[in-house]
């Protein structure tokens, strides 16, 4: 966790110069603050986002800097989903990526109301796509249409966007977004591998990150996991 700089502390101020962000704060922030207080989360917090494609579920986990463990704050259902289980392989395949990412862009003037871009393609995606174009522009966004993104509807993205702004403004430069094909229990893994056996090594690797967070309620250091990714 880096120490906030002047540029970081003014991030929220900058975002509030955009009409849609101001409107989101006007209609959502007061109630979000009450919900945060109910969970005994006051002041600055750190954000972790986990998404599960099969369950169509996006989870918001929060903790304060003095706390070791994250706690589940809110769950948002995907409004819709394109593609099937399995990672995104190339541009135009309609797949939602799977893997360990972070928020790389805040778009207050999105074509889909508000959006948070993830750093797809990451290094693993680039290796996997080989000679194919991997595609890009993967977002968590509003509206209810998608060709590989995670849409939540305009009302729900307002809350997620605000929470991301607050975390970023508090000095969290890298907000992790881990996208899993499903909740990777052993039972679920065995069930889904019957239809997608080609992803056994890849999903088993992802399972290590899933299991670590489930056990410790801490975000794993995914660098080593990403360096040992295996796929066909």
Strand partners, 72: 61
At residue 176, the 3 state secondary structure works out as strand
Tokens of 65: 């800097």
Q: How confident is the model at residue 43 (pLDDT cuts 50, 70, 90)?
A: confident
Contacts of 40 by beta carbon, 8 Å cutoff, 6+ apart:
none
Q: pLDDT per residue over 164-191, tens digit each? A: 999 999 999 999 999 999 999 999 999 9
State yes or no: pLDDT of 228 exceeds 90: no
Domain assignment of residue 159, yes or no? yes
Which among 79, 113, 149, 192 is annotated as catalytic? 149
What's the number of domains the chain is made of?
1
CATH number at residue 98: 2.40.440.10
Q: Is residue 217 part of a domain?
A: no
Among 10, 15, 198, CA closest to 106: 15
- The pLDDT, as a whole number, for residue 84 is 95
E-only strand ranges, 83-165: 99-110, 113-118, 139-141, 150-151
Give exposure, 64-81, as e/b (b: 16+ Cβ within 10 Å).
Answer: eeeeeebeebbebebbeb
**For the chain, what percentages of helix, strand and coil (3-state, to nearest 5) are there?**
35, 20, 40
Whether residue 122 contacts residue 100, with contact meaning beta carbons closer than 8 Å, is answered with yes
Contact 162, 74 (CB under 8 A): no
Is 214 within a domain? no
Q: Does 191 fall in a domain?
A: no
Residue in the structure block whose two tokens are 């990150």: 209
Task: Report if residue 219 sits inside a domain.
Answer: no
What are the pLDDT digits (tens) for 95-148? 999 999 999 999 999 999 999 999 999 988 998 888 889 989 999 999 999 999
Of 208, 198, 199, nearest in space to 228 by CA: 208
> Is residue 116 assigned to a domain?
yes
Task: Judge whether 199 lies within some domain.
Answer: no
Q: Is residue 38 part of a domain?
A: yes
Residue 79 falls in the annotated catalytic set: no
* Phi, psi (rounded to 5 degrees) for 62: -130, 155
- 141 counts as catalytic: yes
For residue 68, the enclosing domain spans 6-181
Tell me the average pLDDT across 11-15.
96
Which residue is catalytic, options 79, 113, 137, 141?
141
Q: What is the DSSP letter of 95?
A: P
pLDDT in tens, 46-98: 999 999 999 999 999 999 988 899 999 999 999 999 999 999 999 999 999 99
* 3 state SS of 178: strand
The whole model's pTM is what? Answer: 0.92
């Amino acid at each position: 966790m880096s120490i906030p700089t002047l540029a970081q502390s003014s991030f929220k101020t900058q975002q509030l110069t955009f009409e849609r962000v101001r409107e989101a704060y006007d209609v959502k922030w007061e109630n979000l603050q009450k919900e945060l207080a109910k969970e005994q989360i006051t002041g600055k917090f750190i954000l972790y986002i986990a998404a599960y494609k099969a369950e169509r579920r996006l989870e918001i986990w929060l903790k304060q800097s003095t706390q070791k463990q994250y706690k589940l704050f809110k769950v948002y259902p995907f409004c819709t989903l394109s593609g099937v289980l399995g990672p995104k392989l190339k541009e135009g395949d309609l797949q939602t990526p799977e893997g360990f990412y972070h928020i790389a862009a805040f778009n207050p003037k999105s074509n889909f109301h508000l959006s948070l871009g993830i750093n797809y393609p990451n290094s693993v995606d680039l290796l996997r796509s080989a000679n194919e174009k991997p595609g890009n522009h993967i977002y968590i966004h509003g509206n209810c249409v998608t060709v590989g993104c995670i849409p939540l509807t305009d009302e729900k993205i307002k809350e997620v966007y605000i929470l991301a702004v607050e975390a970023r403004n508090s000095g969290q430069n890298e907000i992790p977004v881990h996208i899993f094909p499903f909740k990777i229990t052993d039972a679920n893994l065995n069930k889904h591998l019957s239809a997608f056996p080609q992803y056994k090594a890849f999903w088993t690797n992802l399972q290590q990150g899933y299991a670590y967070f489930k056990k410790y309620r801490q975000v794993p250091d995914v660098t080593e996991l990403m360096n040992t990714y295996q796929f066909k």
